[in-house]
Amino acid sequence: MSPPLTETDIAFVKSLVIHEDAAIIALNKPSGLSSQGGRIKAHTLDDLLAAFAKSSGNRPRLIHRLDRDTSGVILTARTKPAAGFLGKAMMGRRFRKTYLAIVTPGAPEPAGGTIEHPLRREEIGRESYMRIAKAEEPGAENALTRYRTLARGEAAALVECSPQTGRMHQLRVHLASMGRPIAGDARYGGALSVGGVAVPRLMLHAARLSFPHPDGGTTTIEAPMPDDMRAVAAALGVNP
């Protein structure tokens, strides 16, 4: 059981809110914060959602996850009916997710298109990772990513990615499969230094999320690129 939240914890998670209404709360998750179930002995975002608990004890529920080192838009439901509605919408692939990634060395070839490689989950000790697999392999799952290059420099490029499926590490593995791993992604071959520029973390940001709102219509929520990623992009000449 997680320790109770401090005033600092509560102020921190409330500072992440970028949209709030009766049905949902959307937050701009910083890199380094686990969505839930993290192995580091620190509060996860799921733990921090206790800051929004009602007097009944009901608290927002995470609708999806982001990797610990990925920043950006993450959605929660404030009520059980909203969670059920959004869960069904996500299973029905009615969510539209858009990410920004800094890849190396240079822009993908072609500069835009579709990556469609099945992925399979592998375990090494306590670590899990994904690899490209053949469709007929046991455990292989179809995976589809659309991408386009937004800016290119000599050593790197800024790429917009839209996963059409929701596999673990999908964007990271698909981009690496093109020979353009995400900068800072040591697990999948990403450089930790590019053209003399230090890369402080995985350069992947969930920039935009569009989804059907439980109260009707379509809602789109955006999160600006964080300062650390913007600084790397500027230093490499691939500003958005």
**CA terminus-to-terminus distance, the chain:** 42
DSSP state of 155: S
DSSP state of 138: T
Is-catalytic flag, 67? Answer: yes
Nearest-10 Cα torsion for 40, 43, 47, 52: -160
φ/ψ of residue 93, rounded to 5: 60, 45
Nearest to 200 by CA among 222, 213, 183: 183
C-alpha atoms less than 13 angstroms from C-alpha of 236 in its C-beta half-sphere: 32
| Distance between CA atoms of residues 107 and 109, nearest Å | 7
Exposure pattern of 126-139 as b/e (b: 16+ CB <10 Å)?
A: eeeebbbbeeeeee
Q: Which of 67, 185, 215, 228 is catalytic?
A: 67
- Determine if residue 230 is left, alpha or beta; phi over 0 gives left, psi from -120 to 50 gives alpha, anything else beta: alpha
Active site residues: 67
